[in-house]
Structure formats: C-alpha cells, structure tokens
Amino acid sequence: MGNNAKSIQIKKDILIRIVEAFFSEDFENTVNRIPVEMRPKHFEVPYRCCIHKERAIIRDRIISYLGFAMEKDDEIKSLKDYAVDSLERNYPEEKPLTVLEDACKGCVPSQIYVTDLCKGCVARPCEHVCQFGAVSVKDGRSQIDGSKCVGCRKCMAACPYNAIVKLAVPCEDACPVGAIAKNEQGLAVINYENCISCGKCVESCPFGAVHEKSQIIDVLKYIKDKNTKVVAMFAPAIAGQFHGNIKQFETAVLKAGFDDVYEVALGADVTTKTEAKEFEERMEKGEPFMTTSCCAGYNELVKKHLCELKPFVSMTKTPLYYTAEIVRKKYPDAKLVFISPCVAKRKEVHDNPNIDYVMNSEELSAIFTGRKIEISECKERVIENTPSKQGRNYAISGGVASAVKHLLKNPEEMKPYIINGLNKDAIKELKTFAKNGSCPDCNIIEVMCCPGGCIGGNATINTPSDAKKIIEKLSEESQDL
C-alpha cells in the first residue's frame, strides 16, 4: 500500500472520474475537462506552485491511466485526442511503468551527509570505521568526501550523536536493482532493461511521479461492447482488499460488467500439486535446494540479474498461468482479465497469450465506486469451484512453502527459508546461495517481492495487516487441499 495518503486519494479521484466519464454520453470531452474540474479557477492550490502546475500533473496522470507513456507525450495533444486513441488501441503497451516529469520533484542526489549535530568529538569513530578514507575532520567537524564514499553507512552507525544521515532519493533507494536514476535535468528515468517491474518505485515516491500505465479503458471497452465475453480472474491477495465476503465480492465483479469470475487460488492449487512433486523429485536427485516460482518480480530478477540462480528455480508455472488455462478452455474467445495488486504481473501477462489484460485493486475499486456498486449490498454468489485453504493463503508470505509442505510425503524433511520482500540485501543473499550452490539449513526458498507477500503489493488499497486477517479468515473457512 502506498506511503502517501494524499497522493493515493488524488489518484483514486482521477480514476473514478475516468470511469464515470467512460460511461457518460461524451467520454472524450468529459475526460478533457477533468483537470479544470478538479482544479477550477480560484481554487486554493494545496500542493504545487500554481493551479496550472497542478492541472498539468493531473493531465499527466490521466494520460497514464488512459494507457500511454508520458515519455512519448506530445504536449500539444489534448486529453480528448488521447481518449480517442485509447478507444482505438488494440493492444496495451509492453512496459508497465512511466515517469510523470511534471510530478517529479527532482530530489537532491543520494548521499551520506554530516548534519549540524556533529560535535567533532575526540574519539572520531566515524573516521576510524571508514575503510575508504572518505571521512575526515576539518574545523572541528566531520566531513565526507563524496568521491570516496561508497554508501556503506558504517559512519552513520558509529556516530554517537546520530549526526550523520543519508539523504535518500525514495524511488532510487527503494529499487532493489538500480533501475531508476536521474537524467541530465535531475528527473527520474527508468532503465527498462534492468527494471523487474516490482513497483517499489511507484509505492515509495511521495509525489506519485512513477505511475502504472493502466489498461482500464481496454477492459471497459469490451465490457461496454457486449459482443465479447469478458472474464475476470482475481489474485488471492484481492480477497483481502475489499470488505464483504468473497461471495458478495464475486457478485460485485459481475455487476461491474464481467461475464464470469474465477479465483486464481484455483490455479494455486495446481501450482502446489506440481511444485510439491517437483520438489520431491529434485531432492531425490540430490539437488541442494529449490526456489519457488510464483512471484513475477522474482522471476524477472532471475531472468535479468541472477541467471546463475536459474537452475535452482522451480519449473512449475504460476497460479495465474494454470487458472488462465482452465478459463481459456471454457471461454476460448473471451477477453481474460487478471486483477492483482502487482505491477510485475503486467509483464507476465504480456508474455502469456492466454491472458489479455491486467487491472489492479485501485482500478477495480474505482469501477465499483464509479458504477455505484456496494459489495456489502450484493447478494451472495453460489461458487461452484472453491479453492483450498492452501491456495488462498498464497497471498501471504510463507503461504507457498506451507502449501507445498502440506502435500509432501515426508513434510518433516522440508526446510523452508522465506525471503519476505526483495531488497538489495536479499539479492546479495540469493547470489551467495547460487554461487555456493547451497542454502545453509534449508532446501526450499520462497521468494516474495513484496514484504508480507502479495498483500503488500504497491496497488493494494487495504493495509497488509487487515488484508491478512481477511484472507486468514477466508482460508479457515476453506477445505484442505
């Protein structure tokens, strides 16, 4: 869940207005008016230097919600024209993220900095712990040579006055693979060759400058058309994002215009069975360990940055993959839409011909609000195929390993190691496991890109703790696999 409530509220407001505009009598012109309607003349500007700056940023957000990259923006092109193009588009763009330059604050470069709290103490622990000669004392105060500093933070830990701090750039600091940096103008840019689409930059930026390129118009277009069936498949984590029980939630999704709805936890049950069998086979062959393979961000990490770990990654497909296979057999000509709190799944979907579009929790919530659908007021749907307790728990960190263990012939032989959120330290650890060809005291590693599991994804609308309670309650009401 994003760390800036104000930014989230603005994005939510824009999304709802786009949904309402889509179902109005004049979509293009209604969209075109949104910036002025949100920031009318004489409006008290709450965040930026002037009303025109705020309108410009709202315009940029709308363009990204219409599914376009701001890096390609023609400033002369109107929102009306972008709206027309979104209706005529046949396929969404591959890269899931874009940077809104108008929203980017151009933060100062990341650096370790000595504050005025420095006392220039006699012990000088900061100078002594630095192995690179970056710290010295001048005029009774420590100073850091940026050309020598490697950012190890040992001086920060050593200072008894907490006088040394890191001036961080939130998006750069959050990115575990160094895929986001500054351009010559000091604004954020994404290196898509390195990006694993984890969404941490989206969540961390307090200005909301890093944005997902939405596919909501693509989905609504087919819902409104009625000539093509549109089927929703929602990730296990989605069940924890909305209040009201799962049967009411599925009815709400149908009321939103979808022709059918499936829990991806059904595919998770297939993943569990397949991965449990694979784990036993690998252990029989004497392999040192195996890692899980259901997290799209982790799979992208291995593909782009940790090729040496690939032999240890499970060959089992993701729950979404198996669910899409099930749904595609029943609806060969339908548009299949995956609903998830995860940016990385957009890349997985792009590579899977069985799935057409992705929506996140925020977008589904906007559709419910825009179409005035109250989940608590919906009738309970009869669910024919109910996933297992283990499948529904995939949304929570540790859930995948626990599910696999549940099906093993000798579960006591499994020794899991849980990586609860990918960061730079976790990646170093994984590299060590791959280099040494072993994981001390473990033989299966579950890797979740987001802390807490998928319930900690960047597009969640409920707190991870509340989402966990909802999912655990739902799981307790389910049968064992």
Query: Which tens digit of pLDDT belongs to each residue from 112-139?
Result: 989 999 999 999 999 999 999 999 998 8
Q: Report the pLDDT averaged over residues 215-238.
A: 96
Closest CA to 357 of 265, 237, 220: 220
* CA-angle at 298, arms to 296 and 416, nearest 5°: 115
Residues 324-357 pLDDT 10s: 999 999 999 999 999 999 999 999 999 999 999 9
| CA–CA gap between residue 24 and residue 18 (Å, rounded) | 10
* 3-state SS, residue 314: coil
22-36, 177-191, 260-274, 364-378: which has the minimum mean pLDDT?
177-191
- The DSSP secondary structure of 64-82, one letter per residue, reads HHTT--GGG--TTS-HHHH
- Mean model confidence pLDDT for the chain: 94
pLDDT at residue 46 is higher than 80: no
Closest CA to 243 of 394, 452, 466, 1: 466
Q: Are 267 and 321 in contact (CB under 8 A)?
A: yes
Cα–Cα distances in Å, from 81 out to 76, 128, 193, 268, 313? 10, 61, 30, 41, 45
- Indicate the residue type of 43: F
Closest CA to 348 of 371, 373, 319: 319
Position 5 scores a pLDDT of 64
pLDDT at residue 167 is higher than 60: yes
Position 341 scores a pLDDT of 93
Closest CA to 372 of 278, 270, 275, 252: 252
Rg (CA), the chain: 24
Position 425 scores a pLDDT of 94
pLDDT at residue 7 is higher than 90: no
pLDDT at residue 9 is higher than 50: yes
Q: Are 22 and 217 in contact (CB under 8 A)?
A: yes
Residues 101-116 pLDDT 10s: 999 988 877 889 899 9
Position 4 scores a pLDDT of 56
Position 317 scores a pLDDT of 97
pLDDT at residue 162 is higher than 80: yes
Q: Which two tokens stand for residue 169?
A: 């750039």
Closest CA to 346 of 400, 300, 398: 300
Residues 258-291 pLDDT 10s: 999 999 999 999 999 999 999 999 999 999 999 9
User: Topology of domain 111-167, per CATH?
Assistant: Alpha-Beta Plaits (3.30.70)
Position 434 scores a pLDDT of 95
Question: Of all helices (H) and strands (E), which one includes residue 166?
Answer: strand 164-167
Residues 180-216 pLDDT 10s: 998 888 899 999 999 999 999 999 998 999 999 999 9
Q: How confident is the model at residue 3 (pLDDT cuts 50, 70, 90)?
A: very low
| CA–CA gap between residue 87 and residue 93 (Å, rounded) | 14
Q: How confident is the model at residue 384 (pLDDT cuts 50, 70, 90)?
A: confident
Position 168 scores a pLDDT of 84
* 3-state SS, residue 344: helix
Break the chain into its structural domains and give their ranges: 5-106+173-214, 111-167, 220-476
Q: How confident is the model at residue 42 (pLDDT cuts 50, 70, 90)?
A: confident
Distance from CA of residue 52 to its chain's centroid?
Answer: 30
Position 336 scores a pLDDT of 98
Closest CA to 200 of 1, 373, 52, 40: 1
* 3-state SS, residue 41: coil
Position 2 scores a pLDDT of 46
